[in-house]
């Protein structure tokens, strides 16, 4: 099988542009991110799969640092097996 016929090749080769699109979106909406009220939440879980797993990790760190809410990133492929108790 050649790499050109590989289903994941387009996903891999477009990761940089997808990440730049996500960063641009966050920068454009950053003021609204500070307005999110998470006071009633004890925990926030973000999920991602593959490339978006890295975005999930970043989001969890940002949420925790801005809102002081315990945040955790989990791979979406295993979130059903994970349990966080309050």
Q: What is the mean pLDDT of the chain?
A: 76
- 40 vs 81 pLDDT, higher one: 40
| Mean per-residue pLDDT, 28-47 | 84
pLDDT at 3 over 80: no
Residue 85: pLDDT band by 50, 70, 90 thresholds? Answer: very low
- 86 vs 20 pLDDT, higher one: 20
For residues 70-84, b (16+ Cβ closer than 10 Å) or e, as one string?
Answer: ebbbbbeeeeeeeee
Q: What is the C-alpha separation between 51 and 1, in angstroms, rounded? A: 24
Residue 45: pLDDT band by 50, 70, 90 thresholds? Answer: very high
Lookup: tokens for 7: 């289903």
């Amino acid at each position: 099988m050649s790499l050109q016929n590989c289903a994941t090749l387009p996903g891999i080769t477009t990761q940089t542009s997808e990440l730049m699109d996500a960063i641009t979106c966050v920068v454009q909406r950053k003021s609204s991110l500070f307005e999110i009220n998470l006071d009633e939440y004890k925990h926030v879980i973000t999920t991602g799969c593959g490339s978006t797993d890295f975005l999930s990790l970043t989001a969890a760190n940002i949420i925790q640092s801005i809102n002081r809410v315990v945040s955790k990133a989990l791979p979406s492929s295993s979130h059903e097996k994970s349990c966080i108790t309050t």
